[in-house]
Amino acid sequence: MKKRLLGALISSAMVASLLAGCSSSNSGTTEPVTDGGTETEQTTEETADTAATVEEAAQEVAENTESADGELIDIGFAQVGHESDWRTASTKSCQDVFSEANGYNLSFVDCDNDSAAQLEAVRSFIEQDVDYIIIDPIVSTGWDTVLTECEDAGIPVIVIDRTIDDSDKYAAWVGSDFKQEGLAAGEWLKAYADSKGITEINALVISGTTGASAQIGRSDGFKEVADSYGWTILDEQSGDFTEDGGQEVMESYCKSYEGKFNVVVCQNDNEAFGAMTAMDNAGVTYGPDGDVILISFDACTAGLEEVKARKITADFECNPLAAPTVEEVIKTLQSGGTPETEVYMPEHWYALSDAIVEFSINGEAQEMTEVTDEVIEAQY
């Protein structure tokens, strides 16, 4: 939307070379990924001529942007990475909503779970002078300086999914109540264990990326319930929200706690898939028919398929489709309005019918959703 001439082209070239070697978010590479810069700039013949004197990346910017309609809203999105099915759904949702056809130029950076790369990405968006910056913060602290820089540059920031806990210099946050998810998992477990006559809980937790608000909230919520019922949490180690991480942690748990645990809590579906492989290899049975109650979070399509297959006993949803709400925030800001500063995504708790039990959180009765083929089909 903003008209940028040579300076912007040069900074786009800088961004392109800064992030060189990047590839698609599903590639599993360790480099940050971007499509930023190559299709985000608007130019004129004059700037395209001058751009011929700068590096090839800038030339590409000029070529690509000649077709832009001149009124697109420039958005930079510093995404966490590509660690999970949830993340893939979140990225797709943002790319679908913030498309050129919808009036946006999206500079997307996959930060590959690297906090330093994420700060660098935000600074590159300031350099590009985008209209809005969306951040899904890998960790919840360390943000005030760069958010001050955004503020000084006059660029509104919208935080999506995970929270920022040490700065309030952003226009709005759209995401999930992670503590509520952890409380739900705990209170469901209490009701389910009671229904099966299980009186002792010895739980192993495979947590998400340490310091991510999704990890902190889910750990705090589950622990609060565990403490209130006197359960034992034998161990909590991070699987970094990845399948490999979940498998690695579970392999070590199977050795260290052989025969001593009856609950495994994985803080996302991908960790649960890894934990399932490790338990299969160790001869541990799990799910509604097994020795171990397996709890997961996210409830993406692949997770719900494992609920249907009687592997995951219950799955607590975290909704990744925040982008349409973020777009509402941007529209409000565009028209000079004040958006809601906190918007919570709706979420559901899933199980098969024989693991659906009545429970409440702080006196509030919870609904559970039975996993059927139609439910799986409708999920992301």
CB of 300 to ligand GYE, least distance (A): 8
How many CB atoms lie under 10 A from the CB of residue 227?
A: 11
Distance in angstroms (rounded) separating the CA atoms of residues 170 and 6 = 29
- Residues in 55-114 that interact with ligand GYE by CB under 6 A: 83-84, 86-87
Give the 3-state secondary structure of residue 27: coil
Q: Which is nearer to ligand GYE, 167 or 268 (CB)?
A: 268
Number of amino acids touching ligand GYE (CB under 6 A): 12
5 CB-side CA count, 13 A: 6
Q: Which is nearer to ligand GYE, 86 or 253 (CB)?
A: 86
Interface characters, 318-357, with ligand GYE (x: CB under 6 A)? x---------------------------------------
Taking the alpha carbons at both ends of the chain, their separation in whole angstroms is 32
Q: Which amino acid is at 133?
A: I
Task: Please pick, from the candidates 268, 296, 313, 319, the single residue that binds ligand GYE as defined by CB under 6 A.
Answer: 268
Task: Please pick, from the candidates 162, 190, 223, 311, the single residue that binds ligand GYE as defined by CB under 6 A.
Answer: 162
Q: Which residue in 181, 244, 188 sits closest to 213, CA to CA?
A: 181
Q: What is the DSSP letter of 338?
A: -
Interface characters, 283-312, with ligand GYE (x: CB under 6 A)? --------------xx--------------
Q: What is the DSSP letter of 344?
A: E
Q: How many residues does the chain have?
A: 380
CB of 365 to ligand GYE, least distance (A): 25
214 lines the binding site for ligand GYE (CB under 6 A): yes
Distance in angstroms (rounded) separating the CA atoms of residues 60 and 38 = 6
Residues that bind ligand GYE (CB under 6 A): 83-84, 86-87, 161-162, 214, 241, 268, 297-298, 318
